Every structure is written in structure tokens, then in C-alpha cells.
Amino acid sequence: MKQVNVAIPKIFEPLLRESYRNKFYYGGRAGGKSYAFADSLLLLGRQKKLFIACLREIQNSIKESVYKLLCDRIAFYGLDDYKIFENKIENRVTQTKFIFKGLRDQDSQKIKSLEGVDIAWIEEAQTITRKSWEILEPTIRKDGSEIWISMNREEENDPLWVLVAAHPDERTLVVKVNYYDNPFCPQEIKLQAQKCKQCNPDDYEHIWLGEPLRQGNTKLIAAAVVRKAFDTQIAEVNSPLVIGLDVARFGDDKTIFCFRRGRCCQRFECFAKLSVVEVANQATFFINKFRPKRMFVDVGGVGAGVYDILKDRGLRQVVRAVNFGEKACLDDRYANRRAEMWDGINLWLNDVLTPCLPQDDELFSDLCSVNKKFDRRGRLMLEEKDEVKKRLGRSPDKADALALTFAEPVYAAEPIAFYRQGQISWEDMFQSQLGDTKW
Ligand SMILES: Nc1ncnc2c1ncn2[C@@H]1O[C@H](COP(=O)(O)OP(=O)(O)OP(=O)(O)O)[C@@H](O)[C@H]1O
Ligand SMILES: [Mg+2]
């Protein structure tokens, strides 16, 4: 058999070298998914006899399948051991066989022909329905068989995303790949991506970065402003340090400290499975070491215990209790404190002086996942946390910690001692300070 040099980009190497039941690659346009899948399958098919099914939701004719791509790659490498038929491809040496099918056409009888499949490649997996997956998954039943999935995400609830990738088990590999990960990405494509980034950031997110379309215009925070903050660097800020502390409520949540100085969100410190006393110890350590002007503690759950300990330790000057569910400071504008603080993030991100955020995928999805709505009094509210959790598969803890840093404005010098003592309203005080202070 002719020896050929096939270069598979590093990010796709697990296709060849690792065994997983599901290999799920997703991302935006031109990430190199189709080429890498095709090349890898052709290579594997030359090493031993494999039965490979190339599947998509609808295949009216073989032209719609990856048949043409496979033929092109065979021609490109000159793999004359592969013989191309009208609707299948076979390797004359190893007896490997590629077939091409639309899942929509399969019924419980026809699908049986896929029972001996070694590798099933589902291309354009964003169009696969739940029903198709439920028929396919148990059919690919041979020991050691693998399902390879390539997807450009369409919506947040793409069935295969939800069923396979959103909460992957240990037998599932999930890899995000975009055009900048593709060493073969043509220059022209890169230029198109750059142009789109400048002219239409939301389209760029979807088309080129593979983010799902946000449903409706109901997201509180736009992806583009978050990316902009990721790309911004601020050398020095003189604003006082504020720390938001979101204390884990349940076993799977994390305790998170967010450090912010004015326009600059510096970092997050995350801890898992700490007791109340351990969280209080960590908070005390940060206060002593970094001397924040304020630390806002979420006291909705076990955080109340942390707050009590910190107060007992004489830190009442620094530590403030915040309850996400309580009445907002600007009660006529926000349904509760949570909506008010999250809108604080939003206003901060949309400021003419762009703030900076540490680049972080988890923070990105936290911030961009929350829908807004309005109550009957026209006040801003956020969707229920359980809804967000269902979509994210976890709580938006990092964003909550950041939101806490916006609980109240914090000034370098303590401006009005009787603040919140009833002698001056929060709003008056806020207005009087707004001129020269950015939060
Ligand atoms: N191994 C390779 N050799 C040469 N060119 C390649 C290779 N892999 C990718 N490319 C180039 O990168 C482009 C994008 O690759 P590909 O079509 O595989 O990406 P994709 O992630 O499937 O994108 P789409 O979302 O558009 O389907 C191809 O059109 C091709 O020009
Ligand atoms: Mg493709």
C-alpha cells in the first residue's frame, strides 16, 4: 500500500489515538472539522477493516453527504487502494467500507443495517433530532464502536448538544475548535472572519466562534461586550479593591471570590468543598493580605455563617451582607437585588471606557446565559436561577461573584458617614457621587 504523509492538526489527534464512545467536535466555520474527520477515517480505514457510516439528518442525494469530500481527499493523497463506487467507497486491501445515509429515512428495520458499524460519523450534527439520536445510539452497538460528531452550534438547545455534550460523561470527548485552531485555514477565510468581527460582532460570535444563537433579544448581557472586556488590558487602576464572595450553597457549587478595582476585574479565586469556617478563614486571609475597601458576601445560604464569623473577627468595616433575593436599592427599577447587581455588570461592561475581565470560558457562558424580563411594574428581573442552571449545567457562580462587587458603590474615601442611616437616600447619595466615580 502506498505510504502517504497525512497531517492531522494536533487538536484532532484524539480521533486517531484515543478511544471514546463519543467524539464531539464543535465550533464555528472553517475549524477544519470536516477535513480532519475525513482524513482520519481514510487513514484508519487503511490500517484495518472498518465499517464506517457517514450520517446526517437528511440526505436526499449522495451529493449532500461527505462522499465528495472523501473522494477529493482520496484523489489529493492518491490513495489508489480506495475504490469509489456510486454510493459507497471501499478499500481493496483492508476491505474497509464507507456508506452514506440520512437518518430521517431510517425506520426500525432499515437502521438494523448499521448494527455492525465500527465508526459512525454524524456531520452537521446541529440538525439531528432527538428522535434520530434515540434510534441511532442503541444501533451502534458493536464492542469498541465509536460515534464521531461534528457540529456548528445553531441554538442553545440543539438536541445533540444537550444529549451528548452539555454534560459529557467519561466516555465522551468534547472539543471546541475554531478557524484560528485550524493550521490550514486559508488566508481569505481569516480575512472574512476579521471583517465580520468588526462589522457584526454578534454574527461573528455565532458563525466564526460557534456560539449558539441567543434566543430572541432577551439576554441581559451581550456576548460582544464580554469579548471586548476580555480583549482589553488596563495597566493600573487607582480605584479601591472590592471583593465579591459567592459562597457555595450545594455540593456542586463552588465558593468564588471576585477581585475588582473599578474598571478592572482582576481575577477569580475558586474553592470547592470548604466548610463555613474555612471560607471565613480564606476571606480573612484575603482581607488581611489585599486590604479591600469592601467585601460583599452573599448571605442567601450558608454565606450567612461566613458573614457572622467575619463580623465577630472585627471586620465589620469591610464586610457587608448581601441577599440576592432582597429588595433592590433602586426599588422602582429592579425587581430584586440580584437583577440590580447583574445590571451593574451590564452597565459596567457597556461603559464608554471599556473595562477588563480575565479571559475565561466559564465566565463567558455565565455572563451570556442569563435572560432578562420585566415584572408587572416594568422593573427588570432575571429569569429563575433553576432555568439558568438547567441550561448551563451549573450555577453561574463566577458571574454571581462579579455581580456582588456591584452591590453598592464603593469610594476611595468614605464619603457620607450616615449613608443608609435614613438621613440621605441611597439614590441621592449615588447621584451626588456619580459625577466623578465609575463603578
Ligand atoms: N488537512 C487540510 N489540508 C488542507 N486544507 C485544509 C485541511 N484542513 C482544513 N483545510 C482548509 O480549511 C478549510 C476549513 O476546513 P473544514 O471545511 O474542514 O472546516 P469545518 O470546521 O468543517 O468548517 P464548516 O463549519 O465550514 O463546515 C477547508 O476549506 C480547507 O481549505
Ligand atoms: Mg464542515
Mean pLDDT across the stretch 179-196? Answer: 96
Element (H, E) at 294: strand 294-298
Q: The domain 10-181 belongs to what CATH superfamily?
A: P-loop containing nucleotide triphosphate hydrolases (3.40.50.300)
Please give the radius of gyration of the chain, using alpha carbons only, rounded to the nearest integer. 27
On the question of pLDDT at 438 being above 50, the answer is no
Instruction: Say what the pLDDT of residue 342 is.
Output: 97
Mean pLDDT across the stretch 263-284? Answer: 95
Ligand 1 contact, 178 CB (< 6 A)? no
pLDDT in tens, 159-176: 999 899 988 999 999 999
CA distances from 344 to 173, 237, 334, 408, 439 (A): 37, 19, 11, 10, 8
Instruction: Say what the pLDDT of residue 421 is.
Output: 47
CA distances from 144 to 112, 196, 218 (A): 18, 42, 44
CA 129 to centroid of ligand 1, rounded, Å: 25
426: pLDDT confidence band, cut at 50, 70 and 90? low
On the question of pLDDT at 18 being above 90, the answer is yes
Alpha-carbon gap, residue 31 to 245, rounded angstroms = 38
Mean pLDDT across the stretch 124-130? Answer: 93
On the question of pLDDT at 91 being above 50, the answer is yes
Cβ atoms within 10 Å, residue 291: 10
Reported CATH class of domain 218-434: alpha beta
Instruction: Say what the pLDDT of residue 408 is.
Output: 92
Ligand 1 contact, 210 CB (< 6 A)? no
Instruction: Say what the pLDDT of residue 425 is.
Output: 52
Strands 82-84 and 88-91: antiparallel
Name the residue with the closest Cα to ligand 1, atom 3: 184
Domain map of the chain by residue range?
10-181, 218-434
Give percent of the chain with pLDDT exceeding 90.
71
Ligand nearest, relative to CA of residue 76: 1
DSSP output for 184-219: T--HHHHHHHHHHHHH-HHHHHHHTT-PPBPSTT-B
In terms of residues, how long is the chain?
439
Instruction: Say what the pLDDT of residue 215 is.
Output: 59
Name the residue with the closest Cα to ligand 1, atom 1: 35
Ligand 1 contact, 153 CB (< 6 A)? no
On the question of pLDDT at 436 being above 50, the answer is no
Average pLDDT, the chain: 90
On the question of pLDDT at 420 being above 50, the answer is no
Atom of ligand 1 nearest to the CA of 29: 25
CA-nearest of 32, 54, 65 to 147 is 54
Half-sphere exposure of 282 (CA within 13 A, CB side): 22
Instruction: Say what the pLDDT of residue 252 is.
Output: 64
Alpha-carbon gap, residue 381 to 361, rounded angstroms = 25
Q: Helices then strands (H, E): number in the chain?
A: 15, 15
Mean pLDDT across the stretch 207-230? Answer: 85
Ligand 1 contact, 34 CB (< 6 A)? yes
Given ligand 1 and candidates 13, 35, 211, which is best to mutate, with the most ligand atoms within 8 Å of its CB?
Answer: 35
CA 186 to centroid of ligand 1, rounded, Å: 8
Name the residue with the closest Cα to ligand 1, atom 25: 29
Mean pLDDT across the stretch 224-242? Answer: 91
Instruction: Say what the pLDDT of residue 395 is.
Output: 87
52 strand-pairing partners? 98, 119
pLDDT in tens, 338-363: 999 999 999 999 999 999 999 998 99
Longest dimension (CA), the chain: 89
Note if the pTM is more than 0.75: no
Instruction: Say what the pLDDT of residue 416 is.
Output: 47
